[in-house]
Amino acid sequence: MLKHVSFEECLRPILSSEPGALTRKLPKRSVIYTPGSHDDHVYFIAAGLVKTVMHSQSGKECLLNVYTPNDIFGESCFSGRMRSETAIAMSDAVLKQIPRRRFLALINETGLAGELVHYLARRLAEHEQTITDFVTVNCEQRLAAVLLRLWQKAGTPESSYLMQRISHQELSQIVGTTRPRISEFLHRFRMRGLIEVTADSRIRIREHRLREYLETDQDELPLEACAS
């Protein structure tokens, strides 16, 4: 049986040989673009992690998404409006930066328009699931779902480790709770054998146990106030 090649796997070699795609090597915490900027580029992550965040008028930060190798981000430029979010490198990163018009032309030239639509639709579905979880799921369960999703994107089935360190503060922003609560939940997960944590703070996911926890414990935990 032929292995299905994903949109991201198709895109990597195309951008590697595309003269209009600029390679950018960024150290950890580099700001890629900010709200109000007229940045008209799409970005492909060759290596590293990137997060996008938005800030409220009071200055409170909301983490929108975490992007891993082979992800694209910055697609908000398709709207033709100024950026409303900030993109920041969570680790040393290597990006392919390509102008929006050239990116769309390249997608058409290579016959990947349908795959791009499917990719963006899948991302929209992930956002919708995140919103649903915020309303209906206990924050401890949300953390379990987040860890599983990040492992699927950034880990490897062979090692079951998240390949990059994600801080408790960043996890708290994704889940919508405080950093001490994240530490408390991770300790519970370790005690229940759902995860392991290495000396260098990498998280090993026990996929089957974590899935079992999410499937069987949905109604057993109270829908508590996650920020407490």
Residue 2 in domain: no
pLDDT at 85: 92
Q: CA 106 to CA 46: how far, in whole Å?
A: 18
pLDDT at 162: 62
Structure-model confidence comparison of residues 227 and 86, the more confident one: 86
- Among left, alpha and beta (phi > 0; psi -120 to 50; other), residue 37 is beta
Position 183 pLDDT exceeds 50? yes
Into how many domains does the chain fold?
Answer: 2
pLDDT band of 45, cuts 50, 70, 90 = very high
Contacts of 45 (CB under 8 A, 6+ apart): 67, 68, 69, 70, 71, 72, 73, 93, 94, 95
Task: Calculate the average pLDDT of the chain.
Answer: 83
Sign of the torsion formed by the C-alpha atoms of 119, 121, 124 and 130: negative
Of the candidate ranges 119-133, 142-156, 169-183, the one whose mean pLDDT is the lowest? 142-156
The tokens describing 131, both together, are 């919103």
Residue 226 lies in a domain: no
Partners of residue 96 on adjacent β-strands: 23, 44
Of residues 29 and 153, more confidence is placed in: 29
- Domain identity same for 77 and 33: yes
Are both 52 and 109 inside the same structural domain?
yes
Lowest-pLDDT choice from 139-153, 156-170, 198-212: 156-170
* 104 & 15 share domain: yes
CATH of the domain at 162: 1.10.10.10
Examine the domain organization and report whether 88 and 158 are in the same domain: no
Neighbours of 37 (CB within 10 A): 14
- Whether the model clears a pTM of 0.85, i.e. scores above it, the answer is no
- For the cut 80, the answer to whether the pLDDT of residue 227 exceeds it is no
For the cut 80, the answer to whether the pLDDT of residue 225 exceeds it is no
Residue given tokens 């492992």 in the structure block: 151
Q: Are 104 and 117 in contact (CB under 8 A)?
A: no
Residue ending a domain, choose from 74, 94, 121? 121
Residue 128 belongs to some domain of the structure: no
* 130 is a domain residue: no
In a domain, 223, yes or no: no
Confidence of residue 44 (pLDDT cuts 50, 70, 90): very high
pLDDT in tens, 98-144: 999 999 999 999 999 999 999 889 888 888 877 787 777 788 988 98
Query: Is residue 102 located within the same domain as residue 157?
Result: no
- The pLDDT, as a whole number, for residue 161 is 57
Bridge partners of residue 53, in order along the sequence:
63, 86
CATH code of the domain containing 108: 2.60.120.10
Contacts of 86 (CB under 8 A, 6+ apart): 31, 33, 34, 35, 52, 53, 54, 55
Tokens of 68: 């891993």
Which ranges of 41-178 would DSSP assign to H, the alpha helix? Answer: 100-109, 113-136, 139-154, 168-175
pLDDT at 72 over 70: yes
> Within a domain: residue 127?
no
**pLDDT range class, residue 4, cuts 50, 70, 90:** low
- Angle, helices 139-154 vs 113-136, to 10°: value is 160
Q: How many C-beta atoms surround the C-beta of residue 218 within 10 A?
A: 12
Both 13 and 42 in one domain: the answer is yes
Residue 163 has pLDDT above 70, yes or no: no
Q: What is the pLDDT of residue 80?
A: 80
- Domain carrying residue 45: 7-121
Residue range 16-20: mean pLDDT, rounded: 90
Residues 52 and 154 in one domain: no
**What is residue 223's predicted lDDT score, i.e. its pLDDT?**
47
